Each structure stands twice: as structure tokens, then as C-alpha cells.
Amino acid sequence: MKQKLIGKNAIVTGASSGIGRATALALAKQGANVALIARNEARLNAVADEVRALGVQAEVLLADIRDGQQLKAAVDGAIERFGTIHICHCNAGIYLRCPAAELTQEQLRGMMENNFFGNLSTAYAILPHFRAQGGGHLIVTVSMDGKKGVPPDAAYVATKFALNGFFQVMRQELRREGIHVGMIFPSRTDTPQIAHVACPKITPKASPDKMANAVVKCIVRNKREMLVPYLPCKLLVLADAISPRLGDWMVRAFKLDGVQTGEPVV
Ligand SMILES: NC(=O)c1ccc[n+]([C@@H]2O[C@H](COP(=O)([O-])OP(=O)(O)OC[C@H]3O[C@@H](n4cnc5c(N)ncnc54)[C@H](OP(=O)(O)O)[C@@H]3O)[C@@H](O)[C@H]2O)c1
């Protein structure tokens, strides 16, 4: 099969695990070199070895996305290493499961700091480079929780709705500059982030590889949004648009909130 991203260079944040790791490997399989950003050096090095085994280059760059300076240094490091960056996948994120009424201000701000401002910092770090070269793919992992709020994820949902709104605007503003902004809306995915949440058979967790393939498709086809898996996610979005009562009913009927079966592992 023909590789679609030969000669391209990519940055992936949250590349040490789950969807980020799968995306790094999917991009590498398509011929792209990948700069891997996260905090866990050992895990990043392991992913880098897997990427290099696919015949492309990998660079490990440590950064906490909440620290703008660390992040800028990492993105600048990737640009220096590869000369140019064509793809930046803002993917890093954390999950918090807690009923809205029990959330503390500290938890809420912490979630926004990580999932919203952290990913914005990534976008702002790469934007001058994309503008200077007149193009690039800015891909953001949102979540279906950024389309329809599902209990007990209020804090997480707020960060994802914020990302959805912000990058929708960015997408329209940057289009004329040749910068493609694409958003990925995964449903529940089988990664360490939700290892403590069981999902019913009717809406099982999807594989991280499915999300990674959606990222590749989003880039190659300049897609604005990828709902994954498409049909059930689209039905939920449409139902909720027609009637929020119907949307809420679907959440209950399909048990989209899942069941907590243990303590969070990350
Ligand atoms: N799993 C799902 O059901 C699901 C569904 C929809 C959307 N998503 C989204 O998909 C993205 C990836 O999540 P995942 O499911 O793959 O979870 P995961 O396996 O726990 O991976 C999360 C990644 O984000 C990184 N990360 C988190 N906070 C960071 C920070 N402050 N600085 C740097 N890196 C940070 C982690 O790296 P280090 O710990 O090494 O720093 C890790 O590589 C997230 O945005 C998540 O919200 C997940």
C-alpha cells in the first residue's frame, strides 16, 4: 500500500500512551518522521523505538503541556531537528470522573489548565511556524464529550466543549492561510485513561488504532471533523440537536456514562 505522508514531519503530544502513541505509529507507517512530546521519558523512548523500527526518524522531547516555556522549547526542538513541521497533533489530555455538584474549583481549574490551555499552548507554539511556511495541519483530539455532555464527566466535558469552540473558530480564521485545522471526536477508547471505566457491550470501547487511522484520514483528506465511530456518534449529535431530551435519553439508554470498576490508573 502506498505511504501517504512520506517526507512529512509531525509533532504528537501525549505520545507516550494510548491514542497519541497509536497516532505516532500510524503516521510513521505512512512515512512521516515524528517528534514525540509528553512527560514520561521511559515510555516516550519505548514509542520512539517502535517508530524508528518502521524506518522513519523519531525525536523524544519532554514537556508538560501546562508549562508554556517547556512546550515552546519542545516544539522549537522539533522544528530544529526536522527543519520543518507539517503536522501538529494536539492530543495530550487527562480525564476526571466526578459528579458536577462534587467538583472543587481546584479540580475544575486543573482540568482546564491541562486539557484546554495546554493544547492551546501547543497550537500557539506551532502557529508562527505554520504561518511562516504558509501551511500545515493542526489536529486536535477533542472527544465526543465535546459534542454531548455525559455524566459524570462535567469537568472533562467543559474542557472538550471549550476546545471544540475555540478550534472551530481557528479553523475558519486560518483556512485562507492554507492551515488546516482538523478535530477528532473519539468515543470511549481503550486506553489507560479510562481503564477504570467499563462500557456496555452495545457501545464498547474503540481501539486507539481506530482513532489513529482517523487522524491520518483527517490529515490526508483535509477533514474538518472526524466522529469515531461515525454512525453512532453522528446519530447522538443529530438526536441531541433535534431534541436535548432525546439526546439525554440516548445517553441513558445506551449507558454512555459507563460504570466505574476501580481507581484511575493515570
Ligand atoms: N480514552 C478515551 O476514551 C478518550 C475518548 C475521547 C478523547 N480522548 C482524548 O484523547 C487524548 C489522549 O488520551 P488517551 O485516551 O490516549 O489517554 P492516555 O493513554 O492516558 O494518554 C494521555 C497522554 O497525554 C499525556 N499528557 C497528559 N497530560 C499531560 C501534560 N500535562 N503534559 C504532557 N503530556 C500530558 C500523557 O503523557 P505523560 O503522562 O507521559 O505526560 C499521555 O501520553 C486525550 O486528549 C483524551 O482526553 C480519550
Output the pLDDT for position 151.
Answer: 97
What is the pLDDT averaged over residues 224-245? 98
Protein residue whose Cα sits closest to atom 20 of ligand 1: 193
124 as an active site residue: the answer is no
What are the pLDDT digits (tens) for 103-143? 999 999 999 999 999 999 999 999 999 999 999 999 999 99
Using a 6 Å cutoff on CB, does residue 114 contact ligand 1?
Answer: yes
**Rounded Cα distance, 224 and 87, in Å:** 14
Using a 6 Å cutoff on CB, does residue 17 contact ligand 1?
Answer: yes
Whole-number Å distance, alpha carbon 115 to ligand 1 midpoint, is 9
Protein residue whose Cα sits closest to atom 1 of ligand 1: 189
Protein residue whose Cα sits closest to atom 43 of ligand 1: 14
Output the pLDDT for position 21.
Answer: 98
Region label for 136, one of left (φ > 0), alpha (ψ between -120 and 50) or beta (otherwise): left
Whole-number Å distance, alpha carbon 59 to ligand 1 midpoint, is 19
Output the pLDDT for position 149.
Answer: 98
Output the pLDDT for position 200.
Answer: 87
Whole-number Å distance, alpha carbon 262 to ligand 1 midpoint, is 19
What is the pLDDT averaged over residues 28-36? 98
Question: How confident is the prediction for the chain on average, in pLDDT?
Answer: 97
pLDDT tier, 250 (very low <50, low <70, confident <90, very high otherwise)? very high
Count of domains for the chain:
1
Protein residue whose Cα sits closest to atom 32 of ligand 1: 64
CA angle 214, 58, 229 (to 5 degrees): 10
Count how many Cα atoms sit within 13 Å of the Cα of residue 162 in the half-sphere of its side chain: 18
Q: Indicate whether 3 belongs to any domain.
A: no
Q: Indicate whether 56 belongs to any domain.
A: yes
Q: Indicate whether 4 belongs to any domain.
A: no
Q: Indicate whether 266 belongs to any domain.
A: no
Grid cell locating 124: 500557539
Output the pLDDT for position 167.
Answer: 98
Protein residue whose Cα sits closest to atom 36 of ligand 1: 14
Region label for 237, one of left (φ > 0), alpha (ψ between -120 and 50) or beta (otherwise): alpha
**Rounded Cα distance, 187 and 182, in Å:** 16
What is the pLDDT averaged over residues 62-77? 97
What are the pLDDT digits (tens) for 167-213? 999 999 999 999 999 999 999 999 999 999 999 888 899 999 999 99
Please state, for a pLDDT cut of 90, what percent of the chain lies above it.
96
Output the pLDDT for position 5.
Answer: 98
**Domain limits at 89?**
9-260
- Its pTM surpasses 0.95: yes
Q: Can you give the CATH number for the domain in which 223 is found?
A: 3.40.50.720
Using a 6 Å cutoff on CB, does residue 266 contact ligand 1?
Answer: yes
- Residue 149 vs residues 9, 56, 143, 159, 194: alpha-carbon distances, Å: 35, 39, 10, 11, 17
* CB neighbourhood size of 252 (10 A): 10
Maximal C-alpha separation, the chain: 52
Task: State the closest ligand 1 atom to the C-alpha of 208, by its place in the atom list counted from 1.
Answer: 16
Residues 6+ apart with CB under 8 A from 242: none
Output the pLDDT for position 2.
Answer: 87
Using a 6 Å cutoff on CB, does residue 91 contact ligand 1?
Answer: yes
Output the pLDDT for position 212.
Answer: 98
pLDDT tier, 265 (very low <50, low <70, confident <90, very high otherwise)? confident
Whole-number Å distance, alpha carbon 228 to ligand 1 midpoint, is 17
pLDDT tier, 242 (very low <50, low <70, confident <90, very high otherwise)? very high
Q: Indicate whether 2 belongs to any domain.
A: no
